[in-house]
Amino acid sequence: MTNEVVAEFRNFKKSFGTKVVHKGVSFELHKGECLGLLGGSGQGKSVILRSLIGLEKPDSGQVFVDGEDIVPMNEEQLIEVRKKVAYVFQNGALFDSMSVYENLAYPLRAHTKMTEDEIRDRVISQLAEFGLQGNELLSPADLSGGMQKRVGLARSIIMQPKVVLYDEPTAGLDPYNTIRIQEMILGLKERGVSGIFVTHDMPSAFAVCDRIALLLEGKIQAVGTREQLEAQPDSKLTRFVKGLEV
Ligand SMILES: Nc1ncnc2c1ncn2[C@@H]1O[C@H](COP(=O)(O)OP(=O)(O)OP(=O)(O)O)[C@@H](O)[C@H]1O
Ligand SMILES: [Mg+2]
């Protein structure tokens, strides 16, 4: 991990109707780090992730990807941002009518000039890297929920993004699939891919995150490494992690 900044929120403010959700959210994501984003239900974590690919716009504030503010960008410019930043949808968001292979090949056919041979190599090696080889011809409906999530993650990163956004990737998974997802995230980190990991699953947060941030009452209240949390047993962040406070 380096201190190179790959994404940053600066004084992000957003309301829905009369409900003020974000009151000035600011934080940086460094190259190669996985940042845990914690906070109770409804605090605005998913909106933060969606804003990093331009699916939501703040009322004010800036969202930087690779040094560029994406808030004023149009859809065409956002397509380029979404090649760098991948969003892992909760259920995998696979196309039911396509095989596992076709699901992974689809973004490459749509967004690159790769040949079918190059696409095959990329898809096969991506599946193998995540221990999913041999499932190429199955349809998503033939896979367990845990496998669908793992294939969904494999598809999300097939374009080799710089940043991956994980919105509760281990929610509802059994221990086996939870550990597989953790391994996938750690593997991506080793390649220098950064991540923001939104979760209520503390063991997974500690397994994969370099730093953990707490979003509460519209602001990032604290950011810290595990060591910093342990050194501050009475801080808001530590108390949240331990389930002592909302
Ligand atoms: N499109 C929308 N229209 C109206 N309100 C919205 C919209 N999107 C989010 N909100 C509101 O913004 C708040 C934050 O939502 P968000 O989904 O980001 O919370 P969260 O922190 O991800 O919660 P959870 O942990 O339950 O997933 C909620 O009160 C939600 O109702
Ligand atoms: Mg959410």
User: How confident is the model over 120-135, as pLDDT tens digits?
Assistant: 999 999 999 888 999 9
- Average pLDDT over the chain reads 93
Give 223's strand partners: 213
Q: Which three-class secondary structure state does DSSP give residue 33?
A: coil
Is the pLDDT reported for residue 19 higher than 70?
yes
Any idea which fold 5-93+161-241 has? Rossmann fold (3.40.50)
* Ligand 1 within 6 A of CB of 21: yes
* Ligand 1 within 6 A of CB of 41: yes
Is the pLDDT reported for residue 229 higher than 90?
no
Ligand nearest to the CA of 41: 1
How far, in Å, is the centroid of ligand 2 from the Cα of 50?
Answer: 10
Residue 8 host element (H or E): strand 5-16
**What angle do the packed helices 100-111 and 145-156 form, to 10 degrees?**
20
Atom from ligand 1 closest to the CA of residue 40: 25
pTM across the whole model = 0.93
Best residue for ligand 1 mutational test, from 9, 16, 219 (most atoms within 8 Å of Cβ): 16
How far, in Å, is the centroid of ligand 1 from the Cα of 44?
Answer: 5
- 161-187: per-residue pLDDT in tens? 999 999 999 998 899 999 999 999 999
Q: What is the pLDDT of residue 92?
A: 66
pLDDT band at 1 (very low <50, low <70, confident <90, very high): low
* Ligand 1 within 6 A of CB of 208: no
